[in-house]
């Protein structure tokens, strides 16, 4: 009888442990996003943004919460790399449903940072839009007057999962 009570108590403790573990661990994985770095596809995640509107947009994009951290916008310029996000142009998987984001400064380079200054790219003539895959192509299109780039002062934490010659 005492043995049955001990087994029952042990089972109850184990079940309670599993219930508590399920309550606190949902098994949620932050979904990866595709982008471009130096002409090649990479994968990254959005974890935090300095702006509530941007955080909400990125949360809706992947269904995973992006946390609002206003102090990110105070990061010194030397701590930031760039991300180019397209507001129109070639349809695709970006936050505005256009082409994937384009990054500069790869990991293992002197300018790499997961903290990215948001650069919003708008094609002036959408009929001439094409997919840009490097930061250099973005800058060349801006120099030619094909696109406008707006830098609203938003910083997003966007660590890479895969990149040229590397992965986490």
Average pLDDT over residues 121-127: 98
Q: Is the pLDDT of residue 106 over 70?
A: yes
Q: What pTM did the predictor assign? A: 0.83
Cα 18 versus chain centre, distance: 32
Average pLDDT over residues 151-168: 93
Average pLDDT over residues 109-114: 93
**What pLDDT band is residue 21 in, cutting at 50, 70 and 90?**
very low
Average pLDDT over residues 30-48: 96
Q: Is 165 helix (H, G, I), strand (E, B) or coil?
A: coil
Question: What's the pLDDT at 51?
Answer: 98
Which pair of tokens denotes residue 149? 């780039």
Query: Residue 154 to residues 25, 32, 82, 167: CA-CA distances in angstroms?
Result: 31, 21, 11, 26
DSSP bridge partners of 123: 147
**What pLDDT band is residue 29 in, cutting at 50, 70 and 90?**
confident
CA atoms of 98 and 137, how far apart (whole Å)? 16
């Amino acid at each position: 009888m005492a043995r049955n009570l001990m087994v029952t108590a042990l089972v109850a403790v184990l079940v309670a442990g599993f219930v508590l573990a399920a309550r606190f661990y949902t098994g949620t994985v932050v979904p990866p996003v595709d982008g471009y770095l130096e002409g090649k596809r990479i994968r990254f995640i959005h974890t935090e943004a300095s702006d509530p509107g941007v955080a909400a947009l990125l949360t809706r994009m992947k269904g995973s919460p992006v946390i609002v951290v206003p102090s990110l916008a105070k990061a010194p310029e030397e701590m930031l790399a760039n991300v180019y996000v397209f507001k129109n142009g070639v349809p695709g998987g970006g936050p505005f449903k256009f082409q994937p984001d384009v990054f500069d400064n790869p990991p293992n380079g002197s300018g790499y940072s997961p903290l990215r200054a948001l650069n919003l790219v708008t094609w002036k003539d959408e009929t001439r839009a094409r997919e840009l895959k490097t930061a250099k192509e973005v800058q060349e299109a801006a120099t030619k007057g094909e696109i406008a780039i707006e830098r609203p002062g938003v910083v997003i934490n966007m660590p890479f999962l895969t990149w040229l010659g590397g992965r986490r």
